[in-house]
Amino acid sequence: MRLKIIFLLLISVFSLFILFKHDDYAEYSVGSDYEKCRLVRIVDGDTIIVNYKGTNERVRLTGIDTPEAAINDKAKKDSEREKKDLAKIVKEGKRAKSFAENLMEGENFIYLEFDVRERDHYGRILAYVYLADGRMVNDLMLKAGYATLMTVPPNVKYKDRFLKSYREARTKKRGLWAD
């Protein structure tokens, strides 16, 4: 009986070791140079609102794009460009938003990492967004198949990593690629 307990404990410790060595945790960690801010709201799969330095700011997740979660001008343009039903685009956008909400559920604070350009022409903050456990939301959205690549120089720090995650999701038919 005692040997069984020791064996189970060893397996538990080994399992925890494997879990925290998993790719999502090993590649990224929240650095001291990242900006900690309070998560206010998730707008859609690639846009959130945070309280940054005392002001509510819109943050666009760098390197990814998700379908629109509501009917708007961009959703209409995407529908025309992709020859895809507008209702389907919005449905996919809602799925991407839901995935993002599940990822960040219960997170009071998130962390922002900046690349070369910190704001876009709309005034939104451009950032790689991290959860408290060190996982990067941008990459997780790609890996799960709820985002596509949107590389806009000069913000290309993780472009190779993102390309790998995007290809993996498409190949394994994850998320939006499952349909």
Catalytic residue, candidates 124, 161, 170, 174: 124
Using a 10 angstrom Cβ sphere, with 0-12 exposed, 13-18 middle and 19 or more buried, the burial of residue 174 is middle
pLDDT per residue rounded down to tens, the chain (179 residues): 555 444 433 333 343 333 333 444 334 567 678 999 999 999 999 999 999 999 999 999 999 999 999 999 999 999 999 999 999 999 999 999 999 999 999 999 999 999 999 999 999 999 999 999 999 999 999 999 999 999 999 999 999 999 999 999 999 999 999 97
Give DSSP secondary structure letters for 71-129: -SHHHHHHHHHHT--HHHHHHHHHHHHHHHHHHHTT-SEEEEE--S--B-TTS-EEEEE
The confidence score (pLDDT) of residue 1 equals 57
List residues bridging with 4 in a β-sheet. none
Task: Establish whether 101 is a catalytic residue.
Answer: no
Catalytic residue, candidates 60, 92, 95, 113: 60
Task: Establish whether 60 is a catalytic residue.
Answer: yes
Query: What structural domains and CATH numbers belong to the chain?
Result: 28-178 (2.40.50.90)
Task: Establish whether 68 is a catalytic residue.
Answer: yes
Is-above-0.95 flag for pTM? no
Cα(106)–Cα(99) distance, integer angstroms: 13
Record the tokens describing residue 55, joined without a space: 């002001």
Peptide bond before 153: cis, by omega within 30 degrees of 0?
Answer: no
Record the tokens describing residue 16, joined without a space: 């925890």
The confidence score (pLDDT) of residue 32 equals 74
